[in-house]
Amino acid sequence: MIETPLTATIQPDGKPLDVTGYERVGGYQAMRKALNMTPEAIIGEIKSSRLRGRGGAGFQTGRKWEAVPKRDEPPFLRYLIVNADEMEPGSFKDRLLLEKTPHQLIEGVIIGAFAIQAALAYIFVRGEYVLALERLAHAVVEAQARGYVGRDILGSGFSLTIHVHASGGRYICGEASALFSALEGRRAIPRARPPRSAVSGLWGKPSVVNNVETLCCVPPIIERGANWYLGLSHSVDGGTKLYGVSGRVKRPGLWELPFGTPLNEILFEHAGGMRAGYECRAVLPGGASTAFIVPENFDVRMDFASVQKIGSSLGTGNIVVLDQRRCPIGLLRNLEHFFAQESCGWCTPCRDGLPWVERILTAIEAGEGKAEDLELLIHHVSFLGPGCTFCDLAPGAMAPLGSGLKHFRSEFERHINEKACPWHDTKDAWT
């Protein structure tokens, strides 16, 4: 039987357990254990578990925590920030955890905050997640009433305040340094590194930003140990992962599976394969900023290193399926529209380059493309790639475009040669 530490306490009716119910299934035991450990021991355990960030970048969580000054080193004011700004198109995993198991997240926050000795934690939730915001706020109040949040938690001498912040809404807020700007009441514009956030983040203080799913992994690791967690995985990195599938599959949804489960198992067993009349052309493995994977590579294991080896990235592990009834150029235009709109406008290549890319794709889709447009797009892929812009938004936007130009070259050429979209009839179709 597969163990599912992230979703084990989720009830069949989807309603979150209240604090008593969560305690009854073993909740807050890991927090009690952690408060009797040293921060160094907690960080050591997380490092041994090889837990990597579940927001997309996949940084080792233990190393992120370790980079914060030790508890006897100034500055003593530090922050733990939960990135619950789930806005990567095609991703819906954090919503599940926020809405259905808020206490597990709060327990993870308490342990994480204790590990980095942060007295203040912010949970930064996208404004559209109304139900998640309600349930989180309620769970924080319950945890406070139990003495798990607040002054001198269970006599440990450690104090923690948790604030739940509803975002004003903008994709770039998910970028850690832009998130600091947003929390400070500014336009959410990313900041230059160095300094690293572990040294100077929110209000110039050492800060750690962790994804929701990452922090939800923490209580089970502390409770049952790094070795147990490592054993759950099919990869070198530890644990399980919430994989999701959307698109024309028989059963779209989310499943908690061993880390490194093969893509074809997720698509064809868990999601049930394609619906009748639909064929899978390609998938975006982990959101809008990941490169396409085509069927010949569907045996890839969905872990960071394996997906990288075939030229894409794991991202959020929430897969979007492109079927043969939709135009690949139209899909790319949709993605680039998103990125152009959500660019914060701070650096010129991103602010000017992405709308340019969108215009070219719109023209090609409408049958008004020219042969030299393809060269222009290829130029943009390198011009907006890693290292050319202030943050990772534009390079992320170029990942599907670069791979799309490779895998869908003939579809691009057909649009240009035939001066029309071969998928024109399905453009506004429901099916």
Partner 1 sequence: MSTVEQDFVHEPLGPRLRHQIATIARHAEDKRAACIDALKLVQKRFRFVSDVHLAEVAALLEMTPAELDGVATFYNLIFRRPVGRHVILLCDSVACWVMGGAAACAHLCERLSVKPGETTEDGRFTLLPIVCLGHCDHAPAMMVDEDLYGDLDAARLDDILRRFR
Bridge partners of 244? 254, 318
Q: Which letter does DSSP use for residue 119 in this model?
A: S
Q: Is residue 197 within the footprint of partner 1 (CB under 8 A)?
A: no
Measured distance CA(88)–CA(288) in Å, rounded: 6
Q: Is residue 150 within the footprint of partner 1 (CB under 8 A)?
A: no
Cα torsion for 65, 67, 71, 76, to the nearest 10°?
A: -100
Closest to partner 1 by CB, 173 or 218: 173
Closest to partner 1 by CB, 106 or 332: 332
Closest CB 130 distance from partner 1, rounded Å = 5
Closest to partner 1 by CB, 171 or 229: 171
Q: Is residue 169 within the footprint of partner 1 (CB under 8 A)?
A: yes
Q: Is residue 384 within the footprint of partner 1 (CB under 8 A)?
A: no
Among 7, 44, 92, 405, binds partner 1 (CB under 8 A): 92
Q: What is the largest CA-CA distance in the chain?
A: 74
Measured distance CA(331)–CA(408) in Å, rounded: 11
Closest to partner 1 by CB, 62 or 404: 404
Closest to partner 1 by CB, 167 or 235: 167
Among 22, 65, 114, 129, binds partner 1 (CB under 8 A): 129
Q: Is residue 91 within the footprint of partner 1 (CB under 8 A)?
A: yes
Closest CB 231 distance from partner 1, rounded Å = 29
70 Cβ contact partners less than 8 Å away, ≥ 6 residues apart: 40
Among 114, 148, 171, 304, binds partner 1 (CB under 8 A): 171
Closest CB 170 distance from partner 1, rounded Å = 6
Q: Token pair of 343, please? A: 């660019």
DSSP character string of 245-311: EESSBSS-EEEEEETT-BHHIIIIIIS-SBPTT--EEEEEBTBTTS--B-GGGTT-BSSHHHHHHTT
169 Cβ contact partners less than 8 Å away, ≥ 6 residues apart: 126, 127, 128
Q: Is residue 89 within the footprint of partner 1 (CB under 8 A)?
A: yes
Among 40, 73, 152, 184, binds partner 1 (CB under 8 A): 184
**Side-chain-facing half-sphere of 84: CA atoms under 13 Å:** 35
Measured distance CA(424)–CA(418) in Å, rounded: 12
Using CB under 8 A as the binding rule, the residues of this chain from 302 to 321 that contact partner 1 are 318, 320-321
Question: What residues make contact with partner 1 under the rule CB under 8 A?
Answer: 86-92, 94-95, 126-131, 165-171, 182-188, 203, 244-248, 252-254, 284, 288, 318, 320-323, 326, 330-331, 334-335, 337-338, 341-342, 344, 427-431
